[in-house]
Structures are given as C-alpha cells and as structure tokens.
Structure 1
Amino acid sequence: MPHDQKTPARLGRPPLTERRKAETRLEVARAAVRLFLAQGVAGTSGEEIAEAAGISSRTLWRYFPTKESCIMPLLTGGIESTARQLRSWRKDQGLADLLAIARTPLTEAADDARTMLRLVRLTRTEPGLRAVWLEAHRAAEPVFAEALAHRAGLPEPDLVTTVQAAMLNVALRVGVEHYASHDNPDITGYESAIREALLVAAGSFTS
C-alpha cells in the first residue's frame, strides 16, 4: 500500500474479539446474579462465579475488580438501550412518540430483564450490589444528557438537557426499584413501569 494512503476506519459492528469480550462479561454477570440469589454475596466467591461462567479466575479478575462489580454488564445494557431510544427521539416528536419508542422489544432480552429485576430486588439488602447499581446510574447521566443535547441540536449538554437527564435517570431508577420490590414481578409489568417512569420524567420536556 502506498505510504500516502491510510487504512479506512472500521465501520459497522465491533471486531469479533470485542464482541466476544462483551458476551463473556455478560455471561459472568448472569452467573454472578444466579449465585448471589442462591447463596448470597458473602457466600459467593469470585472463583465460583468464574467456574459458573466457564472462564478462569484470572480472566474474571482481568474483567472485574470485585465480585460485586460482576453485575455491571446487566445494568449498563439497560442504560445503553435507553440512550439509543433518546437518540432516536427526534426534536419534531412529542411525548407520545417517546413513549412509543420506549416500547422496546423486551421479549428479545426477556431473560436478562427478569434477571435484572431479581438483581435490583437484591440490591435492597446487599450494600455492595447497591453501590454498583448506584454507580451505574451515576455513569448514565452524562450519557443521557449527550443524547438529549443531540436531540436539541446542541454540540454538548447545556443546563436544561443536563437537568432533564438527571430527572430521567432518577425516574427510571426509582421506577425499576419500585416495581422490583413487588412479589414475583413479571416482564409485562416491567415494561409498563418503565413507560410510566418515562412519562413522569418526560412530562416537562418540550418537543
């Protein structure tokens, strides 16, 4: 290749190795939740999580600093989904359109949604998991703010979009926590709870 030519940037899906890493991290998260639910956080070791996920302990600790942090991929998946929905909510669309967009095909990830509900329920009694849950939402705020700024045609979040992102973030967190606190929460009710939380948070938005 001539020296003055550059290799074109990669577009589309991430490389296979990156996808595989993401899949491995998600499998670890699922295994960790199963074990935490069955025997508690204190009664579960990182080595047990690694074995249940089919990886070595060395690989586990390369991906996660603590056993509690193993749950993070399940939480960040929901955050990324919400951010995608916000990015697709155009400025010429109103609240009804946002709610329509929010009808995410949860059935495609129903098992993960059920697992997350059980996990959120567990954060009420496990401080280590609660800290990870709150950290995930702290990290979500700037992501939501950037998505809302993009909708508003701004180069970066301003005060309004930052406050809106915070409102949305809190409403979603509290909505999920409230629904997860019910006995035997199902996936249909979960979808309704998410939509209701969006309705509350987005009520002050203008299109």
Structure 2
Amino acid sequence: MPEKTAARMGRPPLTERRKAETRLEVARVAVDLFLAKGVADTTAEEIAEAAGISARTLWRYFPTKESFVTPMLTGGIEHTAERLRSWRRDQDAADLVDLLCPPNQHATDDLKTVRSLIRLTRTEPGLRAVWLEAHRDAEPAFARALADRAGLAEPDLAVTVQAAMINVALRVAVEHFAFHAEVKSSVYQAAMREALLTAVRGFPG
C-alpha cells in the first residue's frame, strides 16, 4: 500500500512504522543487555550491533542510553488515550475498565520483558527516571482524551484529576505485577482491573 494511501487510512507511513519497529527492537535488546551486564557496563555500540543498526542511527533515535528502553514503556499511551475517547458518556466506571483491560491484550514475551525492565528500575536510577517520565508524558495525553470525550476545548480540573488517577493506577498496577506476581497475562489483567476499579470508584463511603 502506498504511504500516502496508508496515511489517509489513519495508519502511519511505512517509514514511520519501520522506525517504530526499530525503536522497539532496540528497547528489547537494551533490556536484555541491561539485565545481563547492568546499565553502566553496557555500551551503546553493543546495543546497536545486537539490534542490527549503526551506532549513529541509534543516537538519532534516542538522547541517552537509559532512554533506549522508552518504547517498551510508552507504546500503550496513544492506545489508552483512544480507548478513553471511546468511553461513551452513557457508560459507567466498570465499562471504562473493560475498555482499558481487554482480554489477551499482551503477549507473554512482552510481559516478561516489561516485568524485567520494571524490576530493574528499583536498582537503576536512570531507568527509574525514564519510567516516571513515561507516565509524566502519558498524563496530559489521557487528560486531552477525557476532555475530548466531555466536549471540552481544554482539560479542566476535574478531567485533569481523573487522568492523573488513571495514570497512577496503571503505573501502580504494572509495578505490583513486576514485583509481586508471576508472569501470566491473566495475573497482569487482574492487577490492572483492580487498580483501575479502585481509582475510578474512589474512596469508600
């Protein structure tokens, strides 16, 4: 399919898809090497070679060594934002959780990689900073989606708080899964659902 046709259909151009695929492959390779050697003892050249690209290309895609893992952490932001927009105004909190946690959403291999990466953030401050930055970037995207759903020109205070609650629930759920649970899609889904339901239902009366 020509790139212009793909763009008109809402798909990113082929070159952009290839860049995204390359960035994701770099992230997977980086996690594997960071686990094996540690961040400090892993070089950018090693990661580039393992990913099948040049070091120059690698540095065009990423500003720091720790940021090599960013695609593993940010890939779901726009997907989540789209689901927030699709949450109809006649649907309740449980419906929102169903939209955000569809069954069989994550492959086991990706779950293992994400779990390993989040566990690394406990001992690698640079990776912890990347993890928190990913959620900082997610929050305004979620707020914008909720504002669109509500017909607002800009996110107001209520929408901003709602976005923050969803964002924190997602982060805490992933961390709980990484540090306390076995690597199973069903376990991951259960953690996400519990965290989101806690957030959207608020405090008990």
TM-score by length of 1: 0.89
Q: Which residue of 2 aligns with 1:187?
A: 185
Q: Deviations over 1:23-45 (max 9, x none)?
A: 10000001001111111111211
From the superposition, tell whether residues 11 and 105 of structure 1 become closer, same or farther in structure 2 (CA, over 3 Å).
farther
After the TM superposition, which residues 190-205 of structure 1 pair with which residues of structure 2 at under 5 Å, given as runs?
190-204=188-202
Q: Which residue of 2 aligns with 1:99?
A: 97
Q: Which residue of 2 aligns with 1:4?
A: none
After the TM superposition, which residues 75-90 of structure 1 pair with which residues of structure 2 at under 5 Å, given as runs?
75-90=73-88
Q: 1:64 and 1:117 mapped to 2: Cα distance?
A: 22
Deviation of 1:111 after TM superposition, in Å, equals: 2.1
Displacement over 3 Å in runs of 4+: 7-10, 105-110
Q: Which residue of 2 aligns with 1:71?
A: 69
Deviation of 1:107 after TM superposition, in Å, equals: 4.7
Q: Percent identity?
A: 68
Which region of structure 1 is more displaced relative to structure 2, 81-90 or 108-117? 108-117
Contact 1:106–1:113 (CA under 8 A) maintained in structure 2: no
**2:76 counterpart SS class:** helix
Contact 2:97–2:196 (CA under 8 A) maintained in structure 1: yes
Q: Deviations over 1:70-117 (max 9, x none)?
A: 010111112223222212111111112112212335455432232111
Contact 2:103–2:189 (CA under 8 A) maintained in structure 1: no
Q: Which residue of 1 aligns with 2:122?
A: 124
Q: Deviations over 1:139-194 (max 9, x none)?
A: 11100101111121212211100011111111211121122112643222111111
Q: 1:48 and 1:108 mapped to 2: Cα distance?
A: 28
Which region of structure 1 is more displaced relative to structure 2, 101-110 or 133-142? 101-110
Aligned residue pairs total 198
From the superposition, tell whether residues 51 and 116 of structure 1 become closer, same or farther in structure 2 (CA, over 3 Å).
same
Match of 2:20 among 19, 22, 28: 22
Q: Any unmatched runs of 5+ in structure 1?
A: 1-6
Q: Which residue of 1 aligns with 2:143?
A: 145
Q: Deviations over 1:30-74 (max 9, x none)?
A: 100111111111121111111111111111011011111001011
